[in-house]
Structure 1
């Protein structure tokens, strides 16, 4: 996925080739216990520091139930609501495949969970990052539409050999975006919502830049995929982020 690497050459596969069974029954009792520990810890950490749609999504999708979510049960709620569905993958997928999945309203979820020794950091995001960080927002109709649109933008950008433009847009909105909600600064991005260390850092550290979000700035702003970010882009609101991204055409993305 995009927050780990940028693929510059499209591979001759369809996204369906990367889908595997979740094998939910293979998760051990300790795997389920790790999910429960991560979930409770992150919910307590976030409190109300995340946009309301995220908290609504957790409730709507019943993610607070004990244990690693079963994707079939999750899809039974998510798909009728926003036409998105989750599928299991074994690990990273190339960016062309990832964007194609988003364009089809399909979100890839790692079929593994971190070990207790890796609670705070692991190189390859697991099902906790994917499910806790991303899926609650896909229960929001408008955000769900934006995520699909970014997938289509990504397909066009990769076809033109400029996939990094869409990757940066995705990063500074879906993964590590911040947004105002009323008078409060809130977490929007999944990478922040699922991170124990960076959630508060992004909101409170005096060592980072917080710049106004625009699609032009997002497309032009580099990022780090292996460390806390040196800067975050802040939208006027979740709705403003969605509106601005939805107004972006592939042609304009390629000429910003």
Structure 2
């Protein structure tokens, strides 16, 4: 959930108390804008029949440019009108409390650097393409925008209850790697998939991973790996379902989770609403 500092455009400024900086859009190089163009066209073509319609509508509504790294100031005009959210630029590691506070106040922290050309197929940390192309379009959707704010508010509570690892799993399996099922079948809404060429195909087409109906407690019990494609994807039927499932106070959930064993990422339980059973490599 935190961002790291590398290849910042221009000279990395000293962050403010809330870890925000100015984007310094004018400092991006021609090469950096070229990397954005390559990534944008590659993913836009790949996601035509894979991304959830809400993401596509958000992308169109923001008019995110294909010709270079977007200027956050321009995006914030459209985003603010639609849902009251805005993007704030960050330059370094963002402590959990700061991250949650930003979300709780409808501010999305986005890193400014963009990957190098040789890193386009694999990057260990989120860059501006992941943060802006992957995350921001869905913040144009009122229900998902409310979910993200509620997540931030819940994160501030989780910090006080020693349950951050449970809440982090919810973020991972929804905001980053979530799938949604609509009348046209499975679609992608997780930013970690939307910004990845390989996982955009793998999550939808590969028979290896499990695809399991979303269940809040099940998700928060399930560990995850950050060094490979997912072994399990959790599937929602609507953003309304996601928002309603996560609306209650999590305090009693955390108490129950502390008495329950964690689950490995590839685990399938008899009680799962199994949409597809994967297989081991």
TM-score of the superposition, structure 1-length normalised? 0.91
How has the CA–CA distance of structure 1 residues 228 and 3 changed in structure 2, closer, same or farther, with 3 Å as cutoff? farther
* Residue aligning to 1:250: 250
Structure 1 residues without counterparts, runs of 5 or longer: 5-13
Alpha-carbon distance between aligned partners in 2 of 1:237 and 1:92, rounded to the nearest angstrom: 32
* Residue aligning to 1:192: 193
Does the CA contact (< 8 Å) of 2:163 and 2:254 recur in 1?
yes
Q: Deviations 1:31-90 (Å, cap 9, x if unpaired)?
A: 111111100000111112111100000000011342111011111110121111101111
Q: Which has the higher contact order (CA 8 A, sep 6+)?
A: 1
Q: Deviations 1:170-205 (Å, cap 9, x if unpaired)?
A: 111111111101141111111111111111111111
Which structure carries more helix by proportion? 1
Q: Deviations 1:117-162 (Å, cap 9, x if unpaired)?
A: 1111111110000000000000001100000001111110111121
How has the CA–CA distance of structure 1 residues 196 and 70 changed in structure 2, closer, same or farther, with 3 Å as cutoff? same
Query: Rg larger in 1 or in 2?
Result: 2
Alpha-carbon distance between aligned partners in 2 of 1:207 and 1:100, rounded to the nearest angstrom: 37
Deviating more after overlay: 18-27 vs 235-244: 235-244
* Residue aligning to 2:215: 214
Does the CA contact (< 8 Å) of 2:104 and 2:152 recur in 1?
yes
What RMSD, in angstroms, separates the aligned Cα atoms of the two structures?
1.8
Alpha-carbon distance between aligned partners in 2 of 1:206 and 1:232, rounded to the nearest angstrom: 12
TM-score of the superposition, structure 2-length normalised? 0.83
3-state DSSP of counterpart to 1:77? helix
Which runs of 4 or more aligned residues in structure 1 lie more than 4 Å from their structure 2 counterparts after TM superposition?
none
Alpha-carbon distance between aligned partners in 2 of 1:2 and 1:216, rounded to the nearest angstrom: 24
* Residue aligning to 1:150: 151
1:3 Cα offset (Å): 9.5
* Residue aligning to 1:100: 101
Alpha-carbon distance between aligned partners in 2 of 1:221 and 1:62, rounded to the nearest angstrom: 36
3-state DSSP of counterpart to 2:125? coil
Does the CA contact (< 8 Å) of 2:39 and 2:120 recur in 1?
yes
* Residue aligning to 2:206: 205
Alpha-carbon distance between aligned partners in 1 of 2:161 and 2:123, rounded to the nearest angstrom: 32
Does the CA contact (< 8 Å) of 1:175 and 1:192 recur in 2?
yes
